[in-house]
Amino acid sequence: MTVSIKDVASKAGVSTASVSRVLSGKPGVGKKTAERIREVIEELNYRPNLGARGLVKQKTGNIAVVVPRGSFVLNNPFFSTILEGVAKAMDQTDYNMLMSFTSIQQKRLLETQAVDGVILFSPRHEELSLEWLESVGLPIVVIGSYLEESPFPCVRPDDEDGIKQAVTALYNLGHRDIGMINGPMSSMHSVRCLNGYKSRVKELELDYSSDNVLEVDEFDVFKATEAMKTFLNNNKKITGVVCSSDYLAIGVIKAASMIGLSVPEDLSVVGADDVPISDFITPSLSSVHVDLVGIGKRATVTLMNLMEGKQIRKKDVVFEMKYIDRSTTSIPKNK
């Protein structure tokens, strides 16, 4: 049987207004009385009726987690690990999490105001335009990069510095012909990663050539394997590769084995983001670590603050990255 606020009030010997104040954190209830009310709430396992509360407060009680390119994203451990952080932070609130994976679902959720706020995963402008997102009028927090000057609060890894660290790690091992596997340039993440690669290669006085960079159509290892094989076959002088995601790095390891190259003996490979599986594959993947769960939590807390009308002082929250040396990197053969 469903427990109501009246049941809690009756059991605690107080008014429903007192129970409501305790639930919402408002003053006006004595300390001992408030403690008794909380004990009864736990004893009866009472959960507020969010639908009824929403009618009073004109809120839905729902948060949208909008994930463009859904089927691909579900297979990508970068996104699923961040989602773990979002879910953990959401558990500390009264909100429900609604996820959408297609443009039809996204527009339906946002245009009908079926949610009170939005966590938006790495959108691309051609998918969800800035003008449309602003017209929706909902609080929005972006995870990952969207635009260089995003109007929405953004929580993201320091992609540029992460790739710089990866290039430096290979250079310190003795590699001088270092390639890059990157995602599509419609992604701001890819743009930042390429900027990091270019600048560090030039700082180390290595020769930069666009021939040493492969831009795949999507961060989808299954679709990119053939392109990676061709790239490695056409660039046999490359002894080390940095990738803009661990997912792509795993694809490079597979592509290398398919053309008879051994990792790391023939080719050193470095990923980015250090998703949990990186340390479990064989060989274990050298990567650039970032706190993905922390990114999810921070984005959720930022959205809650935004929805409560609090001032967001730092709109671009950047998480540091740190190189982790594992088994996919070693000195080049000719050293």
pLDDT at 161: 98
pLDDT at 56: 46
pLDDT at 55: 40
Percent of the chain at pLDDT exceeding 90: 53
| pTM for this model (two decimals) | 0.81
Mean pLDDT of the chain: 88
Cα–Cα distance, 35 to 30 (Å, whole number): 9
pLDDT at 104: 74
Cα–Cα distance, 65 to 63 (Å, whole number): 7
- The sheet with strand 178-182 has its strands ordered as 213-215, 178-182, 240-243, 268-270
Q: How many other C-beta atoms lie within 10 A of the C-beta of residue 1?
A: 4
Q: Please name the residues in contact with 329: beta carbons below 8 A apart, sequence gap of 6 or more.
A: 169, 170, 173, 240, 264, 268, 269, 270, 286
Q: Is the pLDDT of residue 137 over 90?
A: no
Query: Is residue 204 within 8 Å of 263, Cβ to Cβ?
Result: no
Which of 148 and 252 is assigned the larger pLDDT?
A: 252
Structure tokens at 178: 């270092």
pLDDT at 169: 98
Percent of the chain at pLDDT exceeding 70: 91
- What is the 3 state secondary structure string of the chain? CCCCHHHHHHHHCCCHHHHHHHHHCCCCCCHHHHHHHHHHHHHHCCCCCHHHHHHHHCCCCEEEEECCCHHHHHHCHHHHHHHHHHHHHHCCCCCEEEEECCHHHHHHHHHCCCCCEEEEECCCCCCCCHHHHHHHCCCEEEECCCCCCCCCCEEEECHHHHHHHHHHHHHHHCCCCEEEEECCCCCHHHHHHHHHHHHHHHHCCCCCCHHHEEECCCCCHHHHHHHHHHHHHHCCCCCEEEECCHHHHHHHHHHHHHCCCCCCCCCEEECCECCHHHHCCCCCCEEEECCHHHHHHHHHHHHHHHHCCCCCCCCEEEECCEEECCCCCCCCCCC
Q: What are phi and psi of 158, to 5 degrees?
A: -85, 75
pLDDT digits (tens, 9 = 90+) for 34-47: 888 889 888 888 87
pLDDT digits (tens, 9 = 90+) for 31-86: 888 888 889 888 888 876 554 554 445 578 889 998 876 556 667 888 889 999 99
Q: What are phi and psi of 48, to 5 degrees?
A: -60, 145
Task: Provide the CB-side half-sphere exposure for 1 (13 A, CA).
Answer: 4
